[in-house]
Amino acid sequence: MDVHASLLSAVGETPLVRLNRVTARLSTPVYAKLEYVNPGGSVKDRAALSMVSAAEEAGLLAPGGTIVEGTSGNTGVGLAMVAAQRGYRCVFTLPDKTSAEKIAVLRAYGAEVVVCPSGLPLEHPDHVFNTAVRIAAERPGGWHANQYDNAANPAAHYRTTGPEIWRQTDGRITHLVAGVGTGGTLTGAGEYLREAAGGRVTVVGADPEASVYGGGDGRPYFVESIGHVLHPETVEDRWPESYRPEAVDRIERIGDRESLLTARRLAREEGLLVGGSAGTAVAAALRVAAEAGPDDLVVVVLPDSGRNYLSTVHDDAWLRHWGFLDGDGGGPVVGEAGSVPIGPRLRPADTVRQALDVLAGPSGARPGREGAALVTVAGTGRPVTGPDVVGSVTARRLREAVDSGAARPEDALSAHLAPAPPAFGVGEPAVEALRALDAARGEVALVLLDGHAHALVDRAALRAVVEGVPGTTAAGDRPEVPRTRPEPAHR
Ligand code: PMP
């Protein structure tokens, strides 16, 4: 019989499939390693099995024990699957921005899920990692898998992923491309392939543009599970030991828009329903292939399925809300309304006096519309992204509060914030934004482009575009809100 004695022996040996349509103009073949075919649905099955087996061998995990891990989902599924087979309990800590589908899957395996606030510095006791360490220490028989620093994670890819790719390409691979989360996949498979090929394989990391691995400033981005975010209050940044930068030849930095739209194209043009990190990896692979020759062979790792992201990456309304999609051609969109640049950015800890000074300065003073002079307050002190806008203030309201004694100049701004303005993507219908603004009795809304607060638009400007009158707001003071963006390269 051609059978598996256990589900766990079905981990790995995933297919390597040539990309045909997204690579149409390229002479270099690009092959995708379909890791979502693993029984737990992702590349992390390999690391999970490897880490549990190593812990058992080292006597760190014994019958009746509890596996604890901080995971954004896929490592949890892999560990939960192995735990179910081998009779362990599991507890997972994950950030509150994790998609609802991923959390539901973990619970379906019988795992306990502890949701931690995202956006905390590494030192914070409630950080996902520290919470996992604490729970593992408190539970009898608790073991912290720690995929970030566990050598059995990259070892899984050195032992399985790398050799599979070598065998499947008959040793012809010249470039390996993969995203870097813990770094296990790229480091482990990359080191094996480099050795097997006598150094002839180029190892390329695919990284979100803002991630610090590739030299970004570490501000948040939309693609889940890869890259490295740096919180502004983190004192000492620590990279995972599973990631060995010396094993990587170069990093391709990919913006959120290119990653997300590439993931969509893979579903529509190749029939590959994959997650956002696969979009990042393929976008990087297409760049690599465009520079390579016809005798080269690129392999790109597709870590998980798009089914984990039906309410995000693969949802038009979600993409459009965050400003990643242009209009659907059905009528005027928010991006067509006359808008003004966002004023100066303040932080919640700034004082009322500081805010008034800033608002009185050249960048704060905006002729005419008090609404458009709004200041958005970024919680992280970085370029605002939608979720980071925690409130708003205007010079007029602050001055009134000081005059009436409701606010003191030395108060923190956080005590005197009005709600953040509602936000709409550039491609959302202007009529819907206007309706929502009317319902909220708001004067001004944020315009989101590529996931970032890009400009402010007021009710009059929205109404003008809905009624077909050309943009009317603060002439000469309008940022360019592109209505269409270039498609990712190499269509
Ligand atoms: N993509 C997805 C969807 C993942 O879950 C992970 C694992 N965090 C990665 C990419 C990155 O893999 P690795 O941890 O091996 O770097």
Q: Is the pLDDT of residue 440 over 70?
A: yes
Report the pLDDT value the prediction gives residue 6, as an integer from 0 to 100: 95
* Ligand 1 touching residue 211 (CB < 6 A): no
| Ordered structural domains, the chain, with CATH | 7-40+153-307 (3.40.50.1100), 44-144 (3.40.50.1100), 320-466 (3.10.580.10)
Q: What is the pLDDT of residue 385?
A: 54
**Integer Cα distance of 346 and 395 in angstroms:** 13
Kindly state if the Cβ of 187 falls inside 6 Å of ligand 1. Answer: no
Mean per-residue pLDDT of the chain:
89
Would the pLDDT of 60 be above 90? yes
Confidence of residue 118 (pLDDT cuts 50, 70, 90): confident
Strand order in the sheet with 452-458: 423-425, 444-449, 452-458
Q: CA 164 to CA 31: how far, in whole Å?
A: 13
| Ligand 1 proximity of 181 Cβ (cutoff 6 Å) | yes
**Higher confidence at residue 305 or residue 384?**
305
Report pTM.
Answer: 0.90
Query: Which pLDDT belongs to residue 173?
Result: 98
pLDDT at 365 over 60: no
Amino acid 374: pLDDT: 55
Alpha helices in 248-307 (DSSP H): 256-265, 276-291
Q: Write the residue with the smallest CA distance to atom 11 of ligand 1.
A: 181
Cβ partners under 8 Å of residue 101, min gap 6: 307, 308, 309, 310, 311
pLDDT tier, 484 (very low <50, low <70, confident <90, very high otherwise): very low
The pLDDT tens digits for 470-483 are 544 443 444 455 44
Q: For 79-107, how does the pLDDT look when each residue is reduced to its tens digit (9 = 90+)?
A: 999 999 999 999 999 888 777 878 888 99
Ligand 1 centre and the CA of 363: distance in Å?
A: 42
Task: Say how many Å lie between the CA of residue 213 and the centre of ligand 1.
Answer: 14
Q: Judge whether residue 387 has pLDDT over 60.
A: no
pLDDT at 419: 80
Kindly list the catalytic residues.
44
The Cα 337–Cα 63 span in angstroms is 63
41: left (phi over 0), alpha (psi -120 to 50) or beta: left
Contact by Cβ (8 Å): 337, 430: yes
Kindly tell me the burial class for residue 238, based on how many C-beta atoms sit within 10 Å of its own C-beta (0-12, 13-18, 19 or more). Answer: exposed
Higher pLDDT, residue 371 or 228: 228
pLDDT digits (tens, 9 = 90+) for 237-255: 899 999 999 999 999 999 9
Q: What would the mean pLDDT of 115-120 be, rounded to a whole number?
A: 84
- The rounded distance, in Å, linking the Cα atoms of 292 and 97 is 37
Section 316-338 average pLDDT: 92
Q: What is the mean pLDDT of residues 361-387?
A: 51
End-to-end CA distance of the chain: 45
136-141: average pLDDT = 96
Ligand 1 site-directed mutation target among 35, 36, 43, most atoms within 8 Å of CB: 43
- Alpha carbon of 176 to those of 225, 250, 262: distances in Å? 19, 11, 18
252 C-alpha to ligand 1 centroid (Å): 16
Ligand 1 centroid to Cα of residue 470, in Å, is 47
Give residue for tokens 């060995």: 244
Q: Give the pLDDT band of residue 71 (cuts 50, 70, 90).
A: confident
Could you tell me if the CB of 160 is within 6 A of ligand 1? no
Is residue 485's pLDDT more than 90?
no
Ligand 1 pocket residue status of 180, Cβ below 6 Å: yes
- H/E segment holding residue 164: helix 162-168
What pLDDT is attached to residue 477? 45
Predicted pLDDT of residue 270: 98
42 CB near ligand 1 (under 6 Å)? yes
* DSSP-assigned letters across all residues of 344-367: --B-TTSBHHHHHHHHHSTTT--S
Q: Which atom number of ligand 1 is nearest to the Cα of residue 44?
A: 7
pLDDT bin (cut points 50, 70, 90) of residue 406 is very high
pLDDT for 371 = 40
Contact yes or no for 8/277 (Cβ under 8 A): no
- The pLDDT assigned to 195 comes to 98
- Ligand 1 midpoint to CA 164 (Å): 18
Closest ligand 1 atom, CA of 73? 5
Helix or strand holding residue 203 (H, E) = strand 202-208
Ligand 1 pocket member 176 (CB < 6 A): no
